[in-house]
Structure 1
Amino acid sequence: GQTYTHGQHHPVRQPPRRLLLPKVKIIRGQVKLKKNQDSECDENTPPEEIQKFSQAVMAFSIDLLKQADPEFKKPNLIISPFSVALGLLQLSLGAGEKTQKILLETLHMQSVKCLHSTLNTVRHDLTESVMKIANRMYLKKGFQIKKDFAKKAEKWYGAKPHNLAGSKEQNLRLINKWVNDVTEGMIPKFLSEIPANMVLMLLNAMYFKGVWRNKFDPSMTVQDVFYINDDLTVPVDMMTAQKFPLRWYIHEHLDCQVVKLPFKGNTSFVVLMPQQFQWNLSKILDNFNLTDVYNRIPRPKQTLFRMPRLNLDFKLELLNPLSNLGLGHLFSNPDLSGISDEQLFVSSVQHQSNLDLNEEGAEAAAATAVITSRSLTSYSINRPFLFFLFEDSVELPLFLGYVRNPSPDSFYKKKELNFQNSEGKDPIFGNRDPLFAPVGCFYRNLEGSKNQNCWSLPD
């Protein structure tokens, strides 16, 4: 979402008013598509424009993921650049020529014709089939927006203006309730406060619920290990399917194993699991080409398949990442005269994404005989990986991120007892990567061993 705010009144000139842009998203999965006849240019949005739009979102997604965690040190990360783009494009409806040019260049969308109608088509198609997408404008009492901006925002984004007429506490409850309702309870408290000088808030909330095309049986989920590296592991609940029609291969150029897991409809969860523990995520992202990756995917093969149950929740203030991508102008002195005659600037772009991958919808398999790994090929997603969630028919990335530790609150287990060398450094990780380096060495009795070393992640 986004927020506009204002400063104190000056006898001659009113200071810029701040805009707050909070972003929300959530996930779980399912899909199909339908043509939207409402078009900015003609009655049908050309398929090539939707393709260009999807390619632009892909490019922006990779840019934003790199900026969200430049050194790739967080245990896990999930973002929805598509949702961020929705908010920024809504803002562009009221932007002057220079500000709009900067916005569209950052989003890689300067060549997309009939941009807002194209996005409107995509938004309606996704809402019909895959997810719930909702946009809303909240206005501070007494703040007026231009009628043309309000009309376009409602036409292309379905964002109706709502006045905040209550107390701060009442307004906060109102906004959080709306987000909670749209995300079906997965984000119950998006905002902790409303800035005092906020005049306009653009909110975007998304909820995606996926149903696996090939379901997992919850009774077969077992606790297993996830390898942080060659020597460190963490416990994880591993979902298991005995005869899973798995499609995977080794992409030599990316040096990754690629796994494509379909949801019902046209949505897929795509995993890129590097061949080595010491992987260069930036290099993988720079060389990632979805069409190339998809073209190589083989026929499915019945496999004894395991993957971790995941529950990821990630919050991020995007002001710095977006500034690093060239949008600093938006937070200092933008031209948003199409929204209001008052001088406005964006004060915050808040983003929250949540991913819950589990066995939901799984059917019991009481009549199925237990199949051992001797009779089937086996495959396990049991080490750090990059992931994307795509709408396949238009190759649109809805979410992306990575998992380096699916159990960040658990203790590490390490085989070697003496983890420090004479210099007090970790012999494997040198100066101690924040993900892997222990904040202290804990000695506990584990399975009867008095000298088992364990580590916990730093906060």
Structure 2
Amino acid sequence: MTRAKIAKTLLTLPLLSAQLLACQPADGQNPAQPGQPGSLKTLSAPSAAELQSLRSSELPEANTRFALAFFGDLLNETPRENVFISPLSLSIALSMLYQGASGETRQEIADALRYSGLSEAEINAGNLTLRKRLQNSGKGVTVQIANALWGKAGLSFNAGFLSRNQAFYDARLEALDFGSATAVARINQWASDNTNGLIPKVIEEIDPMTILILMNAIYFKGDWSEPFEASQTQERSFYKADGTTLEHPMMQRYDKFRYTNNTDAGFEAVSLPYGEAEETEMILLLPHAGKDLASLRDQLTPENWQSWLSSLRSRDGSVTLPKFKLKTERQLNDTLRRLGMVKAFSEAEAEFDSLLDNSPLKAYVSEVKQDAFIDVNEKGTEAAAVTTITVGATSIQLPQEPFEMVLDRPFLYAIYDRATESLLFMGALNSPEL
């Protein structure tokens, strides 16, 4: 039996906070009032009609295209580093920002998110149904999604921008004195509260020109449908991309798994499901010996992704997987530019005419940043992410031999919800850490 070595890819779940910057408030027009921004809350499960509408729309495919393009760009930028991101969190946060954009800036945000062909109504209704479904994932799986708007006290924000974000994203505006230490503490506390303490700090200070901060937080906790036995965890070698070897705790389990060995594409893949329903899963992709993560990165197309998922079949076998715990922080400005969102970052060309009321100020995005955390162990997975966007102004199978999949060299992984075809997290593991 061929012994497959581990290759690790980190999936990061971003919590997106968008900071929109301008210079002076417009008097008397929907001024920011004290309020309570969105927080973790219970959403009722979507109706059968809502779920069918989501599945028949172009939003799931658009989200997949965005997730793979986003992840592929980061893999290309940092090929030998651990990567962990949440495409879903970033897309939700950018969808909130989209509500205040206009002209070519609005179109570029839609293009970057691969939303071409989708109306604003379809985007907003689809994202609401998506949150309802994910936040009702069944026993053994917890997904919590929260959104918030933090506005500079005294500024006047567009009523439509505020109402759409509240109606579809549960994001309500809270006015803050951005020059005070209490504002920083308030925002960081919100991030901590909405990620179960996994991400306690997302900002150190707030730029004086900041007028608005949009935030999305996603928290995930999934128990393996069948846990790994702690007694089977042993120190084993992990072969890093730079050629060095690391002795690291490796979990092992023998069981039936949904598995495939794709000789044409040059990798093995296995699904590790979470919870009783087993609709949310971690997908692990391990390049064949002699191949690296770049060989998979270049094949990460939506068509291939769906084909690979469809090829998974139930097989007896063993999976050896490193325990790991990662914390990442990454600025995403350049990545989003490469995905087509260019004008939003330009002081001269950005158009956010639906953000402020009757204001002479010109807003632009100054930074998009994502903080993320993941912990994978014998019991399951816990993950969270915060993305911050700052806007400034100015069938039957024949019996087969059991497989053995040992993830002891760099690999890719993803946490995937089959019911909504959503990539919650994606990652590349080049060097496991605890």
* Interval of TM-score (by shorter of Structure 1 and Structure 2): 0.7 to 0.9
Letter aligned with residue 244 of structure 2: L
Conserved? CA contact 2:224–2:274, under 8 Å: yes
Q: How many Å separate the matches in 1 of 2:354 and 2:369? A: 23
> Secondary structure of the equivalent of 2:200?
coil
Q: How many Å separate the matches in 2 of 1:220 and 1:189? A: 36
Give the direction of change, closer, same or farther, for the CA distance of 1:277–1:310 in structure 2 (3 Å limit). farther
Q: Show the 5 A alignment for 1:208-227.
A: 208-227=220-239
Conserved? CA contact 2:45–2:136, under 8 Å: yes
Give the direction of change, closer, same or farther, for the CA distance of 1:377–1:330 in structure 2 (3 Å limit). closer
Q: Work out which of the residue numbers 78, 86, 92 in structure 1 matches 2:84.
A: 78
| TM-score between both structures, scaled by the size of structure 2 | 0.78
Letter aligned with residue 2 of structure 1: A
> Secondary structure of the equivalent of 2:60?
helix
Residue 384 of structure 1 is matched in structure 2 by 410
Q: How many Å separate the matches in 1 of 2:242 and 2:331? A: 34
Q: Which one has a bigger Cα radius of gyration? A: 1
Q: Work out which of the residue numbers 325, 337, 340 in structure 1 matches 2:353.
A: 337
Is 1:276 equivalent to 2:289 in the alignment?
Answer: yes
Residue 296 of structure 1 is matched in structure 2 by 311
Letter aligned with residue 354 of structure 2: G
Give the direction of change, closer, same or farther, for the CA distance of 1:391–1:376 in structure 2 (3 Å limit). closer
Q: How many Å separate the matches in 2 of 1:204 and 1:155? A: 15
Residue 56 of structure 1 is matched in structure 2 by 62
Is 1:122 equivalent to 2:130 in the alignment?
Answer: yes
Q: Work out which of the residue numbers 250, 256, 267 in structure 2 matches 1:256.
A: 267
Letter aligned with residue 22 of structure 2: H
Gaps of 5+ in 2: 1-16, 26-42, 382-400
Aligned length: 367
Q: Show the 5 A alignment for 1:300-315.
A: 300-301=315-316, 303-315=317-329
Q: Work out which of the residue numbers 95, 101, 113 in structure 2 matches 1:89.
A: 95
Q: How many Å separate the matches in 2 of 1:33 and 1:214? A: 28
Q: How many Å separate the matches in 2 of 1:231 and 1:380? A: 17
Is 1:267 equivalent to 2:283 in the alignment?
Answer: no
Give the direction of change, closer, same or farther, for the CA distance of 1:349–1:297 in structure 2 (3 Å limit). same
Residue 336 of structure 2 is matched in structure 1 by 322
Conserved? CA contact 1:33–1:126, under 8 Å: no
Residue 170 of structure 1 is matched in structure 2 by 182
Give the direction of change, closer, same or farther, for the CA distance of 1:92–1:287 in structure 2 (3 Å limit). closer
Q: How many Å separate the matches in 1 of 2:21 and 2:242? A: 50
Q: How many Å separate the matches in 2 of 1:184 and 1:168? A: 25
Residue 194 of structure 1 is matched in structure 2 by 206
| TM-score between both structures, scaled by the size of structure 1 | 0.74
Q: How many Å separate the matches in 2 of 1:238 and 1:354? A: 20
Letter aligned with residue 255 of structure 1: G
> Runs (4+) of structure 1 moved beyond 6 Å?
none
Q: Work out which of the residue numbers 401, 405, 411 in structure 1 matches 2:431.
A: 405
Among the aligned pairs, what percent are the same residue?
25
Letter aligned with residue 83 of structure 2: L
Residue 356 of structure 1 is matched in structure 2 by 375
Letter aligned with residue 353 of structure 1: A
Give the direction of change, closer, same or farther, for the CA distance of 1:5–1:377 in structure 2 (3 Å limit). closer
Is 1:2 equivalent to 2:7 in the alignment?
Answer: no
Give, in angstroms, the shift of residue 97 of structure 1.
Answer: 3.5
Q: Could you give the per-residue CA deviations for residues 29-72 of structure 1, whole angstroms, max 9, x where no partner exists?
A: xxx993259xxxxx746446555212111111122123324344
Residue 106 of structure 1 is matched in structure 2 by 112
